[in-house]
């Protein structure tokens, strides 16, 4: 930056000869106010630049600085925070008191409702039972007439019902103000498995209970099934058990060629397939593997032909192992089927 000589605006007898150096605070010669003396205007500007402005020179008094009372300010802030905490505590106390009051009212109302005579159980309806009696189901559910309808734990009642071996599924619901309904689905027994202790299997091929007195007696007996053929839970059925279920379900049809009631035993042979032994004359039907629908239809046609012979003889063995061929061995002549 280029420095030029500066002059003040005052009108002296002579022009101000003070250079720019006076503006930056360098010493200047001379004294007084005559020619060659320091210019007051320049002197004032110089002092302002150096931070040494004379307030008297500028024509005003500098007010004395007052130091802030920080302790007073801190006390005021602490007082406000204390009142804020106190107000928050009061709000929380009121909220907790309201919640406790509402809970107490709810408990009193629940106690009053669950002990009211208006909701006493008067009617218990049971649906879907075939093997079990109504009294057995009600006893297993643990419900009695006169129980408060709203005090019953329906989930617990359903759990008790599912604990019975014959019950596959159960539903329980209230009918306000005095009735409750129980709907059950029982296992449909399909056959007995011939083990040291017989077990019942349902129409899905699952074991659901040991055979006991009072169970159906006219069920076919299944032999040749091992422990490795038993499926638990949602596991897939083994091929042998799947064939057993398929054949027996075919026999349960109303127009089946081999009636369900005719079957005494069904044997599972891992190499030769299924064999049926009928109650009448202990006749044997070899079904082999797969295509059971076709084989049942061929057996229907065979029976019609045997009835057309007119000699009263019945078959002793029928081999339907090969779907497109039927091998028949009849009873000896003169035998009394």
Query: pLDDT of 34-67, one tens digit each?
Result: 555 555 555 555 555 555 454 555 455 556 665 6
| pLDDT for the residue 101 | 84
* Helix (H) / strand (E) containing 138: helix 134-141
| pLDDT for the residue 162 | 94
Geometric angle at alpha carbon 201, from 199 and 202, rounded to 5°: 150
Closest listed residue to residue 175, CA positions, set 147, 144, 150: 150
Beta bridge partners of 111: none
Per DSSP, the residues of 89-128 read: HHHHHHHHHHHHHHHHHHHHHHHHHHT-GGGB--EEEEES
Grouped pLDDT means (10 residues each) for the chain, 337 residues:
44 47 48 51 53 50 58 70 83 87 75 68 92 93 88 92 94 91 95 90 92 90 87 82 93 92 93 92 91 92 80 81 85 59
| pLDDT for the residue 36 | 52
How many alpha carbons fall within 13 Å on the CB side of residue 250? 21
| pLDDT for the residue 168 | 94
């Amino acid at each position: 930056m280029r420095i030029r000589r500066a002059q003040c605006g005052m009108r002296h007898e002579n022009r101000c000869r003070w250079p720019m150096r006076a503006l930056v605070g360098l010493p200047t010669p001379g004294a007084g106010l005559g020619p060659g003396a320091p210019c007051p205007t320049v002197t004032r500007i110089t002092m302002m630049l150096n931070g040494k402005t004379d307030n008297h020179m500028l024509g005003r008094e500098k007010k004395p600085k007052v130091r802030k009372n920080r302790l007073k300010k801190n006390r005021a802030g602490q007082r406000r925070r204390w009142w804020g905490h106190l107000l928050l505590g009061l709000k929380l106390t009121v909220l907790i008191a309201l919640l406790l009051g509402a809970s107490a009212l709810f408990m009193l109302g629940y106690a009053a409702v669950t002990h009211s005579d208006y909701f006493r159980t008067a009617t218990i309806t049971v649906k879907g039972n075939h093997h079990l009696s109504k009294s057995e189901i009600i006893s297993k559910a643990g419900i009695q007439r006169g129980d408060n309808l709203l005090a019953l734990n329906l989930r617990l009642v359903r759990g008790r019902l599912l604990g019975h071996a014959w019950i596959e599924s159960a539903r329980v619901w209230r009918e306000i103000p005095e009735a409750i309904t129980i709907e059950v689905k029982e296992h449909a027994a399909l056959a007995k498995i011939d083990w040291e202790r017989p077990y019942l299997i349902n129409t899905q091929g699952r074991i659901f209970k040991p055979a006991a007195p009072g169970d159906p007696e006219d069920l076919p007996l299944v032999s040749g099934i091992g422990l490795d053929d038993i499926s638990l839970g949602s596991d897939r059925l083994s091929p042998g058990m799947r064939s057993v279920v398929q054949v027996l379900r075919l026999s349960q049809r109303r127009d089946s060629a081999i009636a369900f009631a005719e079957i005494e035993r069904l044997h599972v042979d891992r190499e030769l397939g299924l064999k049926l032994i009928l109650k009448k004359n202990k006749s044997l039907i070899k079904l082999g593997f797969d295509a059971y629908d076709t084989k049942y239809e061929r057996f229907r046609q065979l029976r019609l032909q045997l009835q057309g012979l007119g000699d009263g003889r019945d078959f002793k063995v029928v081999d339907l192992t090969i779907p497109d061929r039927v091998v028949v061995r009849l009873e000896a002549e003169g035998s009394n089927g």
